[in-house]
């Protein structure tokens, strides 16, 4: 068994011909550039590209396979240099009388993903694009994913914008079959202590993924997963916690860095409650966004710290981009010295870091490894930030 670093939620911004896929993502996020970044700079062993349903993305992948620079694994997944690609898709479902919610679909092979694309194209407006609204019920969706040998995982479940608990339901069983949900993605504004306050999640594996919309965001959240090898079959066993495979450690943002952690006004970031008219008493804006922490307080039936026996450690980390003083030039200097982000974050000693970036930045990087930096909380779409004492 080995532990592998895995980031399973990465968006495609554009195709190799320049067509958009995820509208809000950087056009630099093409399939090949993501694979290069993940393998050569980030040091990710496994990634999930969740716009693999897009026909032009599949064309680019086929070209990599035909050129021999990528290869399909006999147990599912596609290997590119030092990184294993798991094919995925993000979609949106709106159950009658409820808000929208996003879900991640992962499939073992390109053939299965192509079949998924055909099914999806009959149920959405533009199958080329990411996160499309699908004309289907959640239980129908679960059955089809199961038929294709895949996994369906609710995405960023607590976020107010299109998270399952954030905008759709109070309980899993109200909208889907909980027995077919083996994992949930926490999102950037929650951690394990917060999520395990819901007892119905005590049977679920927790995933911490980047939801990257730019190359630099890859690996801002990830997990170490214990598997015998890198393949879809092994990853699925880990999600189901079978035969000793499992998530070994979740490496997530300090949740207060998340842009939806606390309730705040979208207009002025005031933390005051809405007035009788539902507006911000500071600026009059009509949109006060309920934070993830407040939503979990509403749903919780357990005290913080109550975890199932299998729950792995959650390590609160500060990604390098959040650390004051680290910009693009210094990041490149770190990559040149240590190879990958995973080497910088996990393997380089403080003394080794200091020789490259100086003692002050080295101390901040080491402090960021275990979340021991002060934070100004994020909310209403604005990320938190590190506050230096």
Check residue 241 and give its pLDDT. Answer: 98
Longest dimension (CA), the chain: 64
* Angstrom distance (rounded) from CA 304 to CA 14: 41
Q: What is the pLDDT of residue 337?
A: 94
The contacts of residue 24 (CB under 8 Å, 6+ apart) are: 213
Average the pLDDT over 91-111 and give the result: 96
CA-based nearest residue to 165, from 294, 351, 64:
294
pLDDT digit string, tens, across residues 324-372 = 899 989 999 999 999 999 999 899 999 999 999 999 999 999 988 877 8
Per-residue pLDDT tens over the stretch 200-218: 999 999 999 999 999 999 9
Q: Could you read off the pLDDT of 288-302 as tens digits, one per residue?
A: 788 999 999 999 999
For the chain, the average pLDDT equals 93
Averaged pLDDT for residues 83-89? 97
What's the pLDDT tens digit per position in 2-24? 999 999 999 999 999 989 999 99
Q: What would the pLDDT profile of 155-176 be if each residue is shown by its tens digit?
A: 999 999 899 999 999 999 999 9
Measured in residues, the chain has a length of 389
Token pair, residue 21, equals: 């896929």
pLDDT at 147 over 80: yes
* Mean pLDDT confidence for 176-194: 96
- pLDDT of residue 85 exceeding 80, the answer is yes
**Between these two residues, 94 and 380, which has the higher pLDDT value?**
94
pLDDT at residue 229, rounded to an integer? 97
Q: Structural domains in the chain?
A: 2-256 (3.20.20.140), 320-370 (1.10.150)
Across 210-259, where does the E strand assignment appear? Answer: 222-227, 246-253
pLDDT of res. 31 = 96
Say whether pLDDT at 80 is over 80: yes
Tens of pLDDT along 268-281? 888 877 787 778 88
Average pLDDT value for residue range 78-104: 96
**pTM for the predicted model, two decimal places:** 0.94
Residue 380, pLDDT score = 79
Give every CB contact of residue 297 below 8 A, 6+ residues apart in sequence: none
Among residues 322, 309, 326, the alpha carbon closest in space to that of 361 is found at: 326
- Segment 102-106 shows an average pLDDT of 97
Q: Specify the range with the lowest mean pLDDT, choosing from 44-53, 67-76, 312-321, 373-382.
A: 373-382
Q: How many CB atoms lie within 10 A of CB 325?
A: 13
Measure the CA–CA gap between 296 and 342, rounded to whole angstroms.
31
% of residues, the chain, pLDDT over 70: 99
Provide the pLDDT for residue 266: 82
CA pair distance 64, 213, nearest whole angstrom: 22
Note whether 206 and 153 are within 8 A (CB): no
| Bridging pattern class, strands 83-94 and 132-133 | parallel
Pair of tokens at residue 99: 């808000």
* Contacts for 300-309: CB closer than 8 Å, 24+ residues apart: 300/197, 300/198, 301/197, 301/198, 301/199, 302/196, 302/197, 302/198, 302/199, 303/197, 304/193, 304/194, 304/196, 304/197, 305/193, 306/196, 306/197, 307/192, 307/196, 307/202, 308/196, 308/202, 308/203
**pLDDT of res. 353:** 95
Q: Could you tell me the CA-to-CA distances from 100 to 93, 214, 323 in Å, in that order?
A: 6, 24, 34
Residue 191 pLDDT greater than 80, yes or no: yes
Indicate whether 374 pLDDT > 90.
Answer: no
If pLDDT is split at 50, 70 and 90, which confidence band does 226 have?
very high
pLDDT given for residue 280 in this prediction = 87
**Whether residue 389 has pLDDT greater than 80:** no
With cut-offs at 50, 70 and 90, classify the pLDDT of residue 285: confident
Would you place residue 64 in the very low, low, confident or very high pLDDT band (cuts 50, 70, 90)? very high
Q: Binning pLDDT at 50, 70 and 90, where does residue 247 land?
A: very high
pLDDT for residue 78 is more than 90: yes
């Amino acid at each position: 068994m080995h532990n592998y670093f895995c980031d399973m939620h990465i968006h495609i911004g554009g195709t190799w011909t320049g067509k958009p896929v995820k509208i809000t993502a950087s056009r630099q996020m093409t399939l090949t550039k993501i694979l290069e970044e993940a393998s050569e700079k980030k040091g990710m062993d496994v990634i999930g590209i969740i716009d693999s349903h897009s026909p032009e993305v599949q064309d680019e992948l086929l070209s990599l396979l035909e050129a021999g620079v990528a290869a399909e694994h006999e147990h599912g997944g596609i290997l590119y240099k030092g990184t294993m690609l798991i094919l995925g898709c993000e979609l949106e479902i709106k159950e009658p009388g409820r808000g929208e919610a996003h879900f991640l679909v992962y499939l073992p092979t390109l053939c299965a993903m192509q079949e998924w694309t055909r099914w999806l194209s009959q149920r959405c407006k533009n199958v080329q694009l990411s996160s499309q609204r699908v004309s289907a019920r959640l239980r129908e969706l679960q059955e089809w994913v199961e038929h294709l040998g895949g996994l369906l995982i609710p995405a960023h479940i607590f976020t107010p914008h299109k998270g399952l608990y954030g905008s759709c339901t109070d309980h899993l069983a109200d909208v889907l079959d909980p027995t077919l949900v083996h994992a949930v993605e926490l999102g950037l504004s929650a951690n394990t202590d917060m999520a395990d306050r819901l007892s119905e999640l005590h049977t679920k594996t927790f995933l911490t993924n980047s939801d990257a919309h730019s190359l630099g965001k890859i690996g801002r959240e990830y997990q170490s997963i214990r598997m015998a090898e890198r393949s879809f079959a092994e990853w699925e066993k880990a999600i189901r916690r079978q035969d000793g495979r499992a998530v070994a450690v979740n490496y997530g943002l300090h949740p207060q860095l998340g842009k939806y952690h606390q309730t705040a006004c979208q207009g002025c970031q005031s933390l005051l409650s809405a007035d009788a008219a539902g507006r911000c008493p500071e600026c009059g804006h009509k949109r006060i966004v309920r934070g993830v922490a407040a939503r979990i307080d509403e749903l919780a039936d357990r005290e913080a710290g109550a975890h199932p026996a299998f729950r792995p450690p959650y390590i609160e980390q500060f990604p390098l981009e959040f650390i004051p003083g680290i910009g693009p030039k210094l990041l490149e200097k770190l990559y040149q010295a240590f190879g990958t982000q995973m080497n910088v974050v996990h393997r380089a000693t403080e003394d080794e870091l200091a020789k490259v970036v100086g003692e002050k930045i080295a101390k901040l990087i080491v402090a960021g490894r275990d979340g021991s930096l002060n934070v100004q909380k994020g909310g209403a779409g604005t990320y938190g930030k590190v506050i230096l004492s």
